[in-house]
Structure 1
Amino acid sequence: MKLASIHIYPVKSTAGHQVHEAEVQPWGLADDRRYLITDERGELLTARQEPRLLACVAQVDGGSLTLTGPHAAPLRVTPTAAMSTVAVGRTPVELTDCGDDAADWLSGLVGRPLRLKWLDDPTRRPVNPEYGRPDDRVSLADGYPLLLTSSASLALLNDWIVETALERGEEAPQPLPMHRFRPNVVIDGVDTPFAEDEWKRVRIGAVDFRVSKRCDRCVLTTIDTSTYTKGKEPIRTLSRHRRWDGKVWFGINLIPDVPGRIAQGDSVTIL
């Protein structure tokens, strides 16, 4: 097995991009999900509520964040000294505001008042203790430092989606791309689809990871990133084949044991 691709999402719930290599930090890949967006009430806003956020592309260069979108010129972000507390999942987290220019840029993209916040100290947010150790930390991802998916699992899911459509008298859809699932690492060469469900530990290159849990999926996976509209797939088909405990599942969450670097093409070993 090998590492087929690496993906980071500098601003939570905006478009991600692929990188050839990445530094693995205790709380996730370097530059991954260190920023998030809040609404007019100061609460976390994601593409689940505002799919248009996926039109924003965020790039980190030398520690500086630049936002690019279809509605305005690119903006280089400058955090301020102002702090506020935002609930991220079950955890209140102290975040730094990124100023009025960033707020105006994002508000113009979506059409409502928004603000951009930065996690200046990624050691602030613990992992859910039910699935991690007391000293495990996570940046602003939904719950865990990394998400792993496999090409074999997506291929089978796409076959299932075609079967579902044909059974319902619908036209066979185009295959769903992997970016719908927003993984950090994608693995090629897995012999059996969804074999990753049973993995406990995995080594990518020279970096070892613990599998914290399987990943339950939400409506974000149903958003077409070219039209920003919601459909029925993959949730409809996952509900037929991959539903238990009241949720649907695709991918696994990882926690790194130690920092290191990973690169596209690295070997992947199940420990």
Structure 2
Amino acid sequence: MSDSLLLTDLYIYPVKSLGGIRLTEAVVEPRGLRHDRRWLIVNEHNQFMTQRQTAAMAHLQVAPAYNGFLLSHQQRPELLPLYVPFEATPEKTLFVTVWDDMVFAWRARPECDEWLSEALGQSCKLVYMSDMVRRDTEPDLNPEGQLVSFADAYPFLLIGQASLLDLNNRLGEPVGMERFRPNFVFSGGAAFAEDSWSQFRIGELDFRAVRACGRCVLTTIDPATAQKNALGEPLRTLASYRTEDGSAMFGQNVTSAGRGRVAVGQPIAVHSYKA
């Protein structure tokens, strides 16, 4: 059936605000997909860093490696790739801030801090969120007490391919899905069909679409060049027809109480819709 819904892409972002890794299957855990945004770069004041303020972070590429990933600088080949394991050890700790949250974190190896400070031209540290940390999603919308990693607010982001096609048909220059940093991408259904979903299932696991995701200036940064679009695209066009409560909306913030695996090619079944 042409309207059948299928999971077509899976992504994790091991370090918040750096590039993603495309997977064929992933493990759903209490705070999101396994290894998704468990690492965070913080400044000398232990405050989180993103491309919103530090566009040069877009130059840092992430590639899969054995039990971890490699960081490299796309414009500085003299900086040899840095290996980072998926998990850290609790040898050194500190408190870091992410938006309004202050959470306990484990320090990476000193050479990680040195590499990132050199790559970004400022003093910074790499830190890891352990399973001992409790960081809740919005409690007023999630009374069940869902957890989240170092992601902005929710453990999963879902976007339909038809939604990106609708946006690209309005842009002078189309953009890729990587601009919007989803975890789940699906085919089938009309543009922005995901806005109406409430309870849905991917394969054998249940999920809940809580609310639309408000987009920021990060979407205007070209991941290939780290340059911001002079016209503010695609955010400007998105805001012209997708604004709600002062934010341009694109994608759905999602939670899950399920545990298990999801895989590209699995069907998606919508069980209920928002009122």
TM-score normalised to the size of structure 2?
A: 0.89
1:38 corresponds to: 42
What SS class does the counterpart of residue 7 from structure 2 fall into? strand
Give the 5 Å matches for 1:50-129: 50-59=54-63, 61=65, 63-70=67-74, 71=76, 72-77=79-84, 79=88, 81-121=91-131, 123-129=133-139
* CA-CA distance at 1:40 after TM superposition: 2.0
Distance in 2, matches of 1:213 and 1:37, equals 27
- Does the aligned pair in 2 maintain the 1:126–1:135 contact within 8 Å? yes
1:255 corresponds to: 255
Output one character per residue of 1:196-231: Cα deviation in whole Å (capped at 9) or x when no partner. Answer: 111111111111101121101001111001110111
Distance in 2, matches of 1:33 and 1:181, equals 15
2:219 corresponds to: 221
2:21 corresponds to: 17
- Does the aligned pair in 1 maintain the 2:200–2:207 contact within 8 Å? yes
Q: Which of 45, 48, 53 is equivalent to 1:49? A: 53
- Does the aligned pair in 1 maintain the 2:58–2:225 contact within 8 Å? no
* Letter of the 2:255 counterpart: I
1:184 corresponds to: 183
Distance in 2, matches of 1:122 and 1:187, equals 32
What SS class does the counterpart of residue 15 from structure 2 fall into? coil
What SS class does the counterpart of residue 236 from structure 1 fall into? helix
Give the 5 Å matches for 1:144-223: 144-161=154-171, 172-173=172-173, 175-190=174-189, 192-223=190-221
* Letter of the 1:219 counterpart: V
- Does the aligned pair in 2 maintain the 1:89–1:143 contact within 8 Å? no
TM-score normalised to the size of structure 1?
A: 0.91
2:246 corresponds to: 246
* Letter of the 2:219 counterpart: T
- Does the aligned pair in 2 maintain the 1:123–1:137 contact within 8 Å? no
Distance in 2, matches of 1:118 and 1:65, equals 14
| Number of positions where the alignment pairs a residue of Structure 1 with one of Structure 2 | 259
* CA-CA distance at 1:6 after TM superposition: 0.3
Output one character per residue of 1:228-254: Cα deviation in whole Å (capped at 9) or x when no partner. Answer: 011111110111100121111000011
* Letter of the 1:198 counterpart: S
1:135 corresponds to: 145
Out of 65-74 and 94-103, give the one that drifted further. 65-74
Percent of aligned pairs with the same residue? 38
- Does the aligned pair in 2 maintain the 1:122–1:137 contact within 8 Å? no
* CA-CA distance at 1:67 after TM superposition: 2.3
* CA-CA distance at 1:99 after TM superposition: 2.8
Distance in 2, matches of 1:267 and 1:140, equals 28
- Give ranges in structure 2 of 5+ residues lacking alignment: none
- Give ranges in structure 1 of 5+ residues lacking alignment: 162-171
Out of 107-116 and 147-156, give the one that drifted further. 107-116
What SS class does the counterpart of residue 212 from structure 2 fall into? strand
What SS class does the counterpart of residue 96 from structure 2 fall into? strand
Q: Which of 22, 25, 29 is equivalent to 2:33? A: 29
